[in-house]
Homo-oligomer: A and B are copies of this chain.
Amino acid sequence: MKNRIKVLRAEQNITQAQLANRVEVSRQTINAIEKGKFDPSLPLAFKIARLFNLKIEDIFQDEE
């Protein structure tokens, strides 16, 4: 599962740590998701999408 979080952060000038705080997970979790190490839970995906005012599908792309 790919995602555009890194780009969205860059657009908004937000660090991994700041994003982590705002969606209430650890910085390592954001890092791992960005690097594709694992997928966020559905509730976390919702939080991230809401933060960027985007649909989940606009941030995460299923790849199979």
Can you name the residue of chain B whose Cβ is closest to the Cβ of A50?
A: B62
Option from B1, B55, B62 in Cβ contact (under 8 Å) with A57: B55
Residues of B contacting A62 in the complex (Cβ-Cβ under 8 angstroms): 43, 46-47, 50
**Total copies of the chain:** 2
Q: List which A27-62 residues lie within 8 A (CB) of chain B.
A: 39-43, 45-47, 49-50, 55-57, 60, 62
Task: Please list 7 pairs of residues, one from A and one from B, whose beta carbons are closer than 8 Å in the complex, sorted by A's number.
Answer: A1-B43, A39-B41, A42-B42, A42-B56, A43-B62, A47-B62, A56-B56
Minimal beta-carbon separation of A2 from chain B (angstroms): 12
Minimal beta-carbon separation of A39 from chain B (angstroms): 5
Please measure, in the bound complex, the distance between the C-alpha atom of A5 and the C-alpha atom of B43, giving whole angstroms. 17
